[in-house]
């Protein structure tokens, strides 16, 4: 990326050269990435603000380099903490794009892994697994989801500590060629950092991902339906609002992930309903019927039952003719 440096006029020899920061911003192409982030992700205002702040800091670093101001390689390792389904993996992908466009990584490349990809099951198995993952991620971003599972103090024969030591060494020695993003539940990540202070000292940016508000979850559902070419009518929309109000109070709610699961189960109920109607002598299904998720499809969820379960039963399947 070429910085836009303006040389001073000859008659003003004492004036220092300048960098056009706005031109540098547009030249980098990160405007497109930040706009996509705003357009594609619902909510997450504090996360989006922090990403813009990081991008601004890195742009200033490039401007300083263009003017010959010495600055060492920045520490870019990050921690994304928050509940499931809050967009951590999606934001990590966008972050990799920003870092690539600004020239801080060589490849617009993200490798997403969990403990199973890094830690072996027997002596001598962990080191080669961890090094192989690092080799694949080098030059880009390594995203470690549920990173706290790397450390299991309750098991003295666990090999996670070996992987941690290799990761820490690489994060320090190769920080100009690899960015590591750790992700997971907030409370568990705090415990993990207390148990592994070496990680905390190498993390430059901590981003906290908030849960989605009910109106944001409804908007997310609408976008998912558009992508899948389904729709709600007014009754179904009210039913789904009611569903969300109940579901968010239940255990294991996973934000956008739970919304997607709920829509998938509603689609299954709709299919069963349509075939039951057809087998009962109903008319052929038209596009309106095939795309509509009804209030009945939503309210059949066990979330509405007295037991208040997680809503996994799609309802009775139609009995197909055997001949």
Q: Span 306-310, mean pLDDT?
A: 49
Q: Tell which residue, 190, 166, 187, 310, has the closest CA to residue 250.
A: 310
Q: Span 184-190, mean pLDDT?
A: 94
Considering the chain, tell me which residue range(s) the CATH 3.40.50.300 domain(s) occupy. 73-209
Q: Tell which residue, 34, 90, 47, 96, has the closest CA to residue 211.
A: 47
pLDDT in tens, 85-112: 999 999 999 999 999 998 899 999 999 9
Q: Mean pLDDT of all residues in the chain?
A: 87
CA pair distance 118, 160, nearest whole angstrom: 8
At a CB cut-off of 8 Å and minimum separation 6, what does 109 contact? 96, 100, 137, 139, 140, 141
The pLDDT, as a whole number, for residue 309 is 46
CB atoms within 10 A of CB 140: 20
Higher pLDDT, 154 or 236: 236
Considering the chain, tell me which residue range(s) the CATH 1.10.8.60 domain(s) occupy. 214-304
The pLDDT, as a whole number, for residue 288 is 92
CATH superfamily of 73-209: P-loop containing nucleotide triphosphate hydrolases (3.40.50.300)
The pLDDT, as a whole number, for residue 196 is 87
Q: Reduced to 3 states, what is the DSSP secondary structure of residue 229?
A: coil
Q: Tell which residue, 158, 39, 177, has the closest CA to residue 100.
A: 177
Range of weakest confidence among 6-15, 130-139, 141-150: 6-15
The pLDDT, as a whole number, for residue 308 is 47
Confidence of residue 312 (pLDDT cuts 50, 70, 90): very low
CATH topology of domain 214-304: Helicase, Ruva Protein; domain 3 (1.10.8)
How would you label 266-284 residue by residue, b for 16+ Cβ within 10 Å and e otherwise?
A: bbbbbebbbbeeeeeeeee
């Amino acid at each position: 990326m070429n910085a836009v440096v303006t040389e001073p006029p000859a008659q003003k020899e004492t004036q220092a050269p300048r960098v056009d920061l706005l031109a540098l911003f547009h030249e980098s192409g990160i405007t497109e990435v930040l706009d996509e982030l705003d357009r594609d992700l619902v909510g997450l205002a504090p996360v989006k603000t922090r990403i813009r702040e990081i991008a601004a800091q890195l742009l200033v670093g490039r401007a300083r380099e263009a003017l010959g101001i010495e600055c060492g390689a920045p520490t870019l390792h990050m921690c994304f903490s928050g509940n499931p389904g809050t967009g951590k993996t999606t934001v990590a992908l966008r972050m990799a794009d920003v870092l690539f466009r600004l020239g801080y990584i060589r490849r617009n490349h993200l490798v997403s892994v969990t403990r199973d990809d890094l830690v072996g099951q027997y002596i001598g198995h962990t080191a080669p697994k961890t090094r192989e993952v690092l080799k694949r991620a080098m030059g880009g971003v390594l995203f470690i989801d549920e990173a706290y599972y790397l450390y299991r103090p309750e098991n003295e024969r666990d090999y996670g500590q070996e992987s941690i030591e290799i990761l820490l060494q690489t994060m320090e020695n190769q920080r100009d060629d690899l960015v590591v993003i750790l992700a997971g539940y907030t409370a568990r990540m705090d415990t993990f950092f207390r148990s592994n202070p070496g990680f905390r000292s190498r993390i430059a940016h901590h981003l906290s991902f908030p849960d989605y508000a009910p109106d944001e979850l409804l908007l997310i559902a609408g976008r998912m339906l558009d992508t899948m070419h389904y729709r709600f009518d007014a009754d179904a929309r009210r039913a789904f609002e009611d569903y969300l109000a109940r579901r968010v109070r239940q255990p294991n709610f996973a934000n956008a992930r739970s919304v997607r699961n709920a829509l998938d189960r509603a689609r299954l109920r709709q299919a069963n309903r349509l075939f039951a109607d057809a087998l009962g002598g109903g008319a052929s299904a038209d596009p309106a019927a095939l795309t509509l998720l009804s209030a009945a499809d939503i309210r059949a969820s066990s979330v509405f039952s007295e037991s208040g379960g997680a809503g996994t039963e799609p309802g009775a399947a139609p009995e197909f003719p055997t001949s």
